[in-house]
Amino acid sequence: MAKTTVSIIEISLIVLVAAALGVFWNRTLLADAWRGAPTRQAAPAQAGEQLPMPVGLAQVKEMLDAGQAVVVDARSAASFREEHIAGALPLPLEEAKKRTGKSPLLEKVGKDSVVIAYCNGFSCHDSMELAKLLIGSGYGSVYVFEGGLPEWRDAGYPLAKGER
């Protein structure tokens, strides 16, 4: 058999084995990502600490459409101006950290409102940090949309640009 043919067969086999191993090893993660469910469970709470719960794409859309929740963008002001979930409020994490204890984190949003924080999805931790600050400042129902902007954008849901 020609050397090229042997190489093509070997390369195909190696790629197939890698794909099979990768998919099997990460089957739960991939299934969650496919369904649009949160891919990372909340870490165990420290003593006395209340952690925000992850929420999936479908629920975020449903709650936002029904006006049942306020969606808050934890990314920088520049990123918000460039693109954000339509209807979201800007609250960059850095700004929120400065505001704590001085002025309300979210003006005109009642403490009994349902608040959903998001950032760039995947491993971005800003939404989780912001959600913790919101809980700390008295908001009772705070969630984190883990898929964040990438998942929202890929689903073809409405986006907006500019200041809010």
Partner 1 sequence: MSAVKRYLPVAVRIALGGIFIYAALPKIADPVTFAGSVASYQILPYFWSYFTAAVLPFLELICGVLLVSGYRVRACALIVAALNVVFMAALASLIVRGLDIDCGCFGGGKTSPWLALSRDAVFLAMAGAVLWFEEKRTPPPVVRS
Say how far apart CA 15 and CA 51 lie, in whole Å. Answer: 41
**Judged by CB, which is closer to partner 1: 53, or 98?**
53
**Judged by CB, which is closer to partner 1: 106, or 124?**
124
CB 118 within 8 A of CB 149: yes
Which tokens go with 101?
């204890």
Q: Rounded to the nearest whole angstrom, what is the least distance from the CB of residue 20 to partner 1 in the complex? A: 9
Q: Rounded to the nearest whole angstrom, what is the least distance from the CB of residue 128 to partner 1 in the complex? A: 13
Q: Rounded to the nearest whole angstrom, what is the least distance from the CB of residue 160 to partner 1 in the complex? A: 18
Return the amino acid letter for 121: G
**Judged by CB, which is closer to partner 1: 94, or 154?**
154
Residues in contact with partner 1 by CB under 8 A are: 3, 7, 10-11, 14-15, 17-19, 21-23, 25-26, 29-30, 33-34, 39-40, 120-124, 147, 150-151, 153-155
**Judged by CB, which is closer to partner 1: 44, or 67?**
44
Say how far apart CA 106 and CA 108 lie, in whole Å. Answer: 6
Q: Where are the alpha helices (H) located in 36-160, listed in sequence order? A: 57-65, 77-82, 93-99, 126-136, 148-154
